[in-house]
Copies of this chain bind each other. A is one copy, B any other.
Amino acid sequence: MAFSFIPREIKFFDLFDEQAKKIVQAAQLFLKIVVENRFNDVTVREMSDLEHDCDDLTHDIIDKLNRTFITPFDREDIHNIAQEMDNVVDLIYSITKRMNLYNLKSNDDMLQFARLIEESAGNVAGAIRCMRHSKMKDEMMKYCIEVNRLENAGDQLRDFVLAKLFKKTKDPIKVIKWKDVYTDAETVLDQCEDVVNIIESVMVKQG
């Protein structure tokens, strides 16, 4: 009876796992769309649905957080992990929408970004999964290191494709469009790194 006003057993880890699943689904869907070169209203709609689901999860986490007194770790960190994971799906959706809006076709460079993003998303989900078990700290670190590696790879890929874009593309409108989507694609990898950076600092604080 007592303390019924404190929602007990808020399962933040379960909610994080669900959010991570949305990141993986968005990354896999994006890769599929790039491989099949199918940027159209139907696929944008599919991605939009995923984005909405992830949005709802994020609001749910932040709402539960605001109503909860006892949390498994720092409130600020829970808030930021939820927010950063949401940003990942938001940006994948935004790129998908823009590829369609700009009438861009898949190419090898975007395919490489899509593969890096899909790989990074899987590793973010792995790191999130390990958070609840202190015994899985070593495994978790492997996922984090991998996300860092993929961010570096994305950095180099972006420099390479932008240099190529400016050298080979004569049509400035095309340059504007592609510069936009390549830059955003690299930012997705930055955002994945943001998530694992917070996870790592949570681990350090817990000693």
Which residues of A pack against B, CB within 8 Å?
A: 62-63, 66-67, 97, 101-103, 159, 162-163, 166, 172-173, 175-177, 179, 201, 204-205, 207
Nearest CB in chain B: distance from A78 CB, A: 13
Known pairs A159-B101, A204-B66; A175 contacts B175 (CB<8 A):
no
* Copy total for this chain: 3
| Inter-chain contacts of A175 with B (CB < 8 A) | 172-173, 176
Say whether chain A's binding surface is mostly helix, strand, loop, or mixed: helix
Given contacts A67-B205, A97-B159, 12 further A-B contacts (CB under 8 A): A62-B201, A66-B201, A66-B205, A67-B207, A101-B162, A101-B166, A102-B163, A103-B166, A172-B173, A172-B175, A175-B176, A176-B176
6 cross-chain pairs, A with B, having the tightest CB-CB distances, nearest first: A172-B172, A66-B204, A66-B205, A101-B163, A172-B173, A66-B201
- Please give, as numbers and ranges, the residues of chain B lying within 8 Å of A179 by CB-CB distance: 176
Residues of B with C-beta under 8 A to A166:
101-103, 173, 177
